[in-house]
Structure 1
């Protein structure tokens, strides 16, 4: 082989080696490396290589190591989510010690769905799919046959975070499923739920689940105020789990850290909701000594998926600056005005 052809072969080998090396370095990029516009790798506590979405207003950190969830949703350096230390997490622990924290999601209905560890606490596959946009994908769940993808997109300038969950039935039999958000916000805030007394099927606009086996359709609790067509939950009620048939499609949580956490979600009067009382929004507000969080849970319609059929549901989040009132009494009408002005869905 003459020197010309030898030089050409060497050049090709070097070029291919360089491409492979660059690709490998991208796959194992250290924390702090930017992967796309507004997307970088960061470490959170013991979780290495988490995917961060960031703009000038808000910061989101996604956790794929144990379930496809949100570890951080913050504005002005304040994380609205309750993120506990999970460095010594034990998968065999019982009760509250096994709880994963922060921005959790699930597949319901709660009393009907059978799902295994893959969806709730398994390792999910992360993929950057655009500016400030990451997709997390689960393995196929052995118990249910379901596979779940969640796409997280942070707006270019605002705190709006759009989350779309797509569930696909990879099994051989039909499966009933629905979207179930299980977000742990920091404890001590006030929940605001808009209702419609002319359309609600619940006499007091909410139901209460005292023990996981019964449902009280006419509850009364001093921690829960009815203000016109709003429910205001000022703190933990006697029994933590509540259900509402929201027709307005939003819920807000006023924190004591002077932030308003808002979720908007689509609702339909024609849809079938799979929870036992037919509610499409649940609040779980325990005593702080048990779990220092308030769980804010929009729920999607129940749909039966045939094998290889998919279903998607989208929820939008906002985190807005808003002072906690000095007297502790949140005015729901004022909150509604903020939501209608600053939390607009396209």
Structure 2
């Protein structure tokens, strides 16, 4: 059945200015990346991304000048064909988390890959009983002195039953940084401005934690809190993760106050920040009720910018950070 409309999820990551010439063209080629023998590298100037069709259709690396926004597990660096992978780095998924039909092949199975242009790679998920087919197209986008990474994901219901799903970004970045979430101009449903997932399925909306604070219209996660999984109902549409290497990873995403969000706490965003080497940054899309053959759309944008990490005893200038995000991530569509 031909889909009535398509789901398109676009992620745009724009890096630090690198002074590329307008005549320079991006390149795409198959490479070996640790144990992955069929990885695909996209490169333009000093912006590089490595894609993984052999396990989950993900981004293994997104870096500018060697500063990588992705966290790759050490165990995954030892991957060999025929062995299960530790799925880390630039992961994408769909939910809702507690009720979605399991889809292990899309999550960790081998995808097909096609280099469609010099700067474009199309990855397609394997078929499985969950009834959702995923297609992701990755391409580099030069803009002035910036280089972006765009990912377009198409999610189509290829089964017979109507399914309710939502977009779920699940990428890992290196830990040790400060996560900044703008609260926007709409009041939160949560008294603490966030929900903390306690033991089991308990969701605490009146939590307090020394590592989480609200300041100047933003919520800051300064370090791993006592419980790692947090949820937010902000409609501001972006988050920033400031890393100790003076790089800030920004995700932009649409948020719709007039739509239903079907995660258990109606979240537009989640952050998982355990003690250890990584943090998970998770934009969440609204509910999409898909009949057989239907799809829906969602767009994420990723940006990699230069920004100083605060020295001991100092704190982030949140206003300056927000101004930089607005100024440098407003790329033309």
Work out the CA distance in 1 between the residues paired with 2:301 and 2:261.
20
Output one character per residue of 1:20-75: Cα deviation in whole Å (capped at 9) or x when no partner. xxxxxxxxxxxxxxxx8421222110001311111124111111111011000111
Q: Are the counterparts in 1 of residues 28 and 42 from structure 2 also a CA contact under 8 Å?
A: yes
Provide the residue aligned with 2:282 in structure 1.
297
Provide the residue aligned with 1:156 in structure 2.
142
Give the alignment partner of residue 126 of structure 1, picking from 113, 133, 138: 113
Work out the CA distance in 1 between the residues paired with 2:80 and 2:192.
40
Work out the CA distance in 2 between the residues paired with 1:72 and 1:162.
14
**In structure 2, do the counterparts of structure 1 residues 284 and 159 end up closer, same or farther at CA, with 3 Å as the change threshold?**
farther
Work out the CA distance in 2 between the residues paired with 1:134 and 1:333.
37
Give the alignment partner of residue 329 of structure 1, picking from 312, 315, 319: 315
Q: Are the counterparts in 1 of residues 159 and 293 from structure 2 also a CA contact under 8 Å?
A: yes
The 4+ residue runs of structure 1 with deviation greater than 3 A are: 88-93
Q: Are the counterparts in 1 of residues 246 and 307 from structure 2 also a CA contact under 8 Å?
A: yes
1:197 is displaced (CA, Å) by: 5.8
Output one character per residue of 1:158-179: Cα deviation in whole Å (capped at 9) or x when no partner. 2422222211111110011111
Q: Secondary structure at the match of 2:32?
A: strand
Work out the CA distance in 1 between the residues paired with 2:134 and 2:82.
21
Question: Which of structures 1 and 2 has the larger relative contact order (alpha carbons within 8 angstroms, sep 6+)?
Answer: 2
Provide the residue aligned with 1:54 in structure 2.
43
Provide the residue aligned with 2:3 in structure 1.
none
1:241 is displaced (CA, Å) by: 0.3
Provide the residue aligned with 2:91 in structure 1.
104
Output aligned runs, 1:133-152, within 5 Å: 133-142=120-129, 144-152=130-138
Work out the CA distance in 1 between the residues paired with 2:82 and 2:31.
24
Provide the residue aligned with 2:180 in structure 1.
192
Q: Are the counterparts in 2 of residues 207 and 216 from structure 1 also a CA contact under 8 Å?
A: yes
Report the count of equivalent residues: 303
Q: Are the counterparts in 2 of residues 39 and 133 from structure 1 also a CA contact under 8 Å?
A: yes
**In structure 2, do the counterparts of structure 1 residues 209 and 154 end up closer, same or farther at CA, with 3 Å as the change threshold?**
same
Larger deviation, residues 115-124 vs 157-166: 157-166
Output aligned runs, 1:1-346, within 5 Å: 37-85=26-74, 86=76, 87-88=78-79, 99-142=86-129, 144-157=130-143, 158-196=146-184, 198-288=186-276, 292-327=277-312, 329-345=315-331, 346=333
TM-score (norm 1): 0.83
Work out the CA distance in 2 between the residues paired with 1:284 and 1:68.
21
1:238 is displaced (CA, Å) by: 0.4
TM-score (norm 2): 0.86
Structure 2: 5+ residue stretches without partners = 1-24
1:139 is displaced (CA, Å) by: 1.3
1:304 is displaced (CA, Å) by: 1.1
